[in-house]
Structure 1
């Protein structure tokens, strides 16, 4: 399917149950879980924000969470929408590391005005109502070049993030603090896959 056809399919998509978000605390094991789901043959889409940080660093850009957070948020939402549109052209379930709701929650938590592009994306771009949430897990938390904040900042984002998803009609299921295979089994079992 061409990308143009995928955009048309996404615009008309009514069956959002196959688009599953994994969100939650930074450093909580989301990327590791997505790698396990990919290993099992499922379509997975990485966290848009991490990609943008790498691209901005590589090109010398300043749309970074620590230099221009509003522009970074808009780029992250745009990339998330692109991933969602790509998934509409694929068969079967697709798993996403975060969604536009994560950027909305950050803007609300930091008392920033929410652009209509972000609120519109959140309203129009729906996912499966079951959202899987990685809880704070200090034993596995680590910083890296794309995650410069500490565990305290990760904790501060967690509650408002879950509240934003729930306010928007999603049901949050906390991932167990266990090995990645058991986490993947939990996700797939909850979804009946």
Structure 2
């Protein structure tokens, strides 16, 4: 069997990525969830409230390691598609937005680990919610969105914007527009 196509969902905080991933998973598709919350919660248990804010490079290194493992896991799944919540280029997008310096291995990972298709979920004020792991306000989320678009576009990805609609309609849009090899 050929490797599963890696279908990536990106977008600023609070755009509905995890909700869509959860729905796709309920429908029986192979999905890989966002891992940053796991890293944040582990750091909080160890006494660091916001690892990205206090040690952005350490947070990003942990994230890179986890996302590379996800990419490799996707290659081993017996499926036509695997849907992934956020990708490796998200890391450099966030670091670039913060104007933090990082080792070349981050740029190398962006080139080495590719995705077959990228769907972007637009900022949508009506569904935006802040929580314990999402410290960004809506204005910051908008800046992140623009940086994500810039980063992925510079890497040569054609972004497919998912319309603002019900979860079911968004999932249907993604499934309808997922390319087959």
Q: Specify the SS of the correspondent of 1:65.
A: helix
Displacement of 1:95 in angstroms is 0.9
Does the CA contact (< 8 Å) of 2:118 and 2:160 recur in 1?
A: yes
Aligned counterparts of 1:90 and 1:16: Cα–Cα separation in 2:
7
Match of 2:67 in 1: 80
Aligned partners of 1:115, 1:75: CA distance in 2, in Å? 14
TM-score (norm: length of structure 2): 0.92
Match for residue 189 of structure 1? 176
Work out whether residues 135 and 175 of structure 1, in 8 Å CA contact, stay in contact via their aligned partners in 2.
Answer: yes
The corresponding residue for 1:39 is 26
Superposed CA RMSD in Å reads: 1.7
Residue in 2 that maps onto 1:157:
144
- Contact (CA 8 Å) 2:4, 2:77: kept in 1 or not? no
Contact 1:62-1:68 at 8 Å conserved across structures: no
**What is the number of equivalent residue pairs in this alignment?**
178
Q: How far apart, CA to CA, are the structure 1 residues paired with 2:29 and 2:123?
A: 25
Q: Which runs of 5+ in 1 are unaligned?
A: 1-14
With normalisation by structure 1, the TM-score equals 0.86
In structure 2, do the counterparts of structure 1 residues 16 and 119 end up closer, same or farther at CA, with 3 Å as the change threshold?
Answer: farther
Which residue is 2:167 aligned to?
180
Contact 1:101/1:122 (<8 A) preserved: yes
